[in-house]
Structure 1
Amino acid sequence: MKFIIHWLPVVVWMGVIYYLSAQTGSDMDGWLSIVHQWFPSMKDFDWGHFIAYFVLALTFAWALSSKRLTWRRKLIVILLCVLYGLTDEYHQSFVPGRTPDLMDLRNDAIGAALAMLLLTFPPLRRWLERGHCVKYY
């Protein structure tokens, strides 16, 4: 049962990413144009991919919480996110108005890496330790 509780958020969030990936290009353009208005210098940066894979990395970290979250495990989390990002880009090749893009994969990796970096800060690490979410040694 513990296994299911820990891995269910990963599977659910992958489903959310898959659903968002299945939206046509015109469905996604509305809110992205607003973000690009606020941050014109970040026009090439896809915040949707960044946030989606930031959260996915945190769910992977939660799933691995029964074990120590070492730098090696953090790297594995990032690699798992990038692998799922590859499947996401492949999936987008079949969606009208969407195309696979290496910059999206870059943003996926940046989101996952920053999530893992965030877990190295002592205040957050202590908060997670108190909550028994992740064990650090």
Structure 2
Amino acid sequence: MVKENTDSYLIVPLKDPKNNDSYRIRRFHIFIALSILYGGFIFYLSSQSAINVPNESFLFEWSIDYAKNNSIISKVIGVPLLMDIVRYSYGNFDKIAHMFLYLGLGILLHITFRNSGNNTLKKYAPLFAILLGIAYGITDEIHQMYVPGRTPSEADLVADSVGVTLAQIIFWIIILKSFLLRKKGKDPKNLK
């Protein structure tokens, strides 16, 4: 008589089409690695005494021409407001760079937490992404105290926080739009 193996539920196959846990875990580890690499990239940039940026006057002139000639942007936002944004960007190019760098970090952190196996991290991914992003921004500013030619700045920390928060707002808009399309009976994956 052959005895049945009652412990078969303990054996987890490496690849089971019905079980997406291994795929989710791999994806989670990939996003952790990408987040760490991106954080390392920010750390590398913060370690530089001087970073060469493009000629700001070229960017200012290009932005002005683009604002005047692009009717969609000028109609939606309005030329005067757009010109104020361009002038601020011209005068505070480093703050804009901080914001966009941390926007990227905020996107990666959100996706990482969303792919976690922990339900609390999944549910509160935007909050955890903002908290971790701001904490990293604080450590980045502390790190700059020890880099010759660099100084910590509260304005940089604000720009970092805005970037991480803006990433979460973008995700919220995408998720809300997807939810509303599903509610109307349209599958957002099939829209072109």
| Pairwise TM-score range, normalised by the shorter structure | 0.7 to 0.9
Deviations along 1:14-72, one digit per CA (max 9) or x if unpaired, are 000000001113x34x33745874533232461121011100011111111225754x3
| Corresponding letter in the other structure for 2:34 | P
Structure 1 equivalent of residue 101 of structure 2: 52
SS at match of 2:115: coil
Q: Percent identity?
A: 29
Task: Give TM-score scaled by structure 2 length.
Answer: 0.56
**Relative contact order higher in (CA < 8 Å, ≥ 6 apart):** 1
Contact kept? 2:43, 2:140, Cα under 8 Å:
yes
Structure 1 equivalent of residue 35 of structure 2: 10
What is the CA distance between 1:117 and its match in structure 2?
Answer: 0.2
| 1:124–1:87 distance in 2 versus 1, CA, 3 Å | same
Structure 1 equivalent of residue 173 of structure 2: 121
Task: Give TM-score scaled by structure 1 length.
Answer: 0.77
Aligned-residue RMSD, C-alpha: 2.8
Give 2:115's match in structure 1, choosing from 55, 60, 66. Answer: 66
Structure 2 equivalent of residue 97 of structure 1: 149
Structure 1: gaps spanning 5 or more residues? 131-137
Structure 2: gaps spanning 5 or more residues? 1-24, 64-85, 179-187
What is the CA distance between 1:73 and its match in structure 2?
Answer: 2.6
What is the CA distance between 1:121 and its match in structure 2?
Answer: 1.6
**Is the radius of gyration larger for structure 1 or structure 2?**
2
Structure 2 equivalent of residue 135 of structure 1: none
Structure 1 equivalent of residue 68 of structure 2: none
SS at match of 1:5: helix
| Corresponding letter in the other structure for 2:87 | P
What is the CA distance between 1:97 and its match in structure 2?
Answer: 1.4
Contact kept? 1:119, 1:125, Cα under 8 Å:
no
Give 1:75's match in structure 2, choosing from 127, 140, 164. Answer: 127
Deviations along 1:79-103, one digit per CA (max 9) or x if unpaired, are 1100000110011111121100000
Give 1:21's match in structure 2, choosing from 39, 46, 71. Answer: 46
Contact kept? 2:105, 2:133, Cα under 8 Å:
yes
Structure 1, 107-116 or 58-67: larger mean CA deviation: 58-67
Give 2:161's match in structure 1, choosing from 101, 109, 112. Answer: 109
Contact kept? 1:118, 1:124, Cα under 8 Å:
no
